[in-house]
Copies of this chain bind each other. A is one copy, B any other.
Amino acid sequence: MSERRVPVAILGASGYIGQHFARLLADHPRFDPLLLGAGERSEGKALGDVWQLSEPPPPALEGRRLRRLSPGGLARAGIRLVFSALPSGTAGAVEQAIARRGIAVFSNAADHRLDARVPLLVPEVNADHLRIAPGRGRRPAVLVTNPNCSAAGLVVGLAPLLPLLAPTAVHVTTFQSLSGAGYPGVPSLAITDNVVPHIPDEEEKIARESSRILGRVRATRVVPLAVPVVAHCARVGTREGHLEAVTVHSDRRPTVGEIVRAWQRFDPLSGRDLPTSPHPPIVVREEKDRPQPLRDRWAGSPPRARGMAVTVGRVRWEPPYLRFFLLAHNAVRGGAGGSVLNAELAVDEGLVAVGREG
């Protein structure tokens, strides 16, 4: 790899999202995952020893030791950028302390998602929200969050529809996979031959975060989209990939062909060189029974963007109700991959001091 790779650290590398970060960054062209952080329980173990994903651990990081990392230690090690897979609740203070040291933070945790100066970012949807963040060289450094794993896919599917449909309400019911709860997560006895119609705070997060992401920046403030997002969330026994049944209420009358084309033509990052960005970001399936978690979770090309595309299908437009199903990989598009893409965008925008000269 080139010397230009930015030295980065992964916080919470022993968890499910942390391991997806490791998988995505092991051979990333722009980021070099020098340090893997973990808590007391995993400290000193190799990444391979705590590995939980079904894919094998990346050879480049398999033997790398997990360490307890402090903001000061990160700075001394020359880390310029941190990916945080810390659990919500404990993430907040740690991430702030790191940002205050001038290290850019890209976080999957919920703690700062609604903070005034923190972009809740999905590059295809609201790249302009980066404007609310502090500029390069400022302290605290930029802190960018990615949304809840269900909201992440939803907003991509909705974004191209907004100008066309001007929705008055969005209804969404989720079929969320086991990995959304991390590891160990859901006990097998709780979910085998079962569906659990409750995921703590999830419905509120989807409503709040979707409105913020789809909102507009006025000066340095985000004005949320004033459309209710009415959500039901349930856990089903799939491994990865969140399926969502979406109904959009609209008083407009485009044709179904216009709707499909709006999705197919949507590719706002097409001119930029962001390695983890899928082209197209939305895959429209025409089969009568897609998208499916098993078959569509890894959608996305080029290969580095596997799992980053959002798949939509079963489009039914009977005004005023547009119905469709949507699928996104919760741990990639809705987790580590989303955060990596955010970092690629922020670096590209010059918001991160990347050189060792710093």
Contact = CB atoms under 8 A, between A and B. Distances in A.
A357 interface: no
Interface of A: 16, 52, 54, 56, 171, 173, 175, 178-179, 183-198, 203, 228, 230, 232, 234, 236-239, 243, 245, 247, 288-295, 313-314, 316, 321, 323, 325
Contacts of A313: 197
Nearest to A325: B197
Nearest to A175: B195
Nearest to A292: B194
Per assembly, the copies of the chain total 4
A245 B197 contact: yes
A314 B195 CA distance: 14
Contact of A189 (B56, B179, B236, B325): B179
A313 B189 CA distance: 21
Nearest to A245: B232
Given A195-B236, A195-B292, A314-B198, A187 B185 contact: yes
B236 A237 contact: yes
Nearest to A51: B295
A230 B290 contact: no
Query: In terms of DSSP, what is the predominant structure of the interface of chain A?
Result: mixed
A230 B250 CA distance: 14
B234 A247 contact: no
Contacts of A325: 197, 232, 234
Contact of A185 (B188, B292, B314): B188
A316 B178 CA distance: 24
A192 B232 contact: no
A54 B188 CA distance: 13
B321 A197 contact: no
Contacts of A195: 175, 236, 238, 243, 292-293
B193 A294 contact: yes
Contacts of A179: 189
B175 A192 contact: no
A309 to B, nearest CB: 12
Given A186-B189, A187-B188, A192-B193, 20 more contacts: A52-B189, A175-B234, A175-B236, A179-B189, A185-B189, A186-B187, A193-B193, A194-B238, A194-B292, A195-B292, A195-B293, A196-B289, A197-B245, A197-B313, A230-B247, A232-B247, A232-B323, A232-B325, A234-B245, A236-B237
Nearest to A316: B203
Given A171-B171, A192-B193, A198-B288, A294 B232 contact: no
Nearest to A313: B197
Contacts of A203: 316
Contact of A188 (B232, B237, B292): B237
Given A232-B325, A321-B228, A323-B230, A238 B171 contact: no
Contacts of A16: 189
A77 to B, nearest CB: 31
The 8 tightest CB contacts between A and B, nearest first, are A232-B245, A184-B187, A173-B173, A198-B289, A194-B294, A188-B188, A197-B325, A173-B245
A198 B178 CA distance: 21
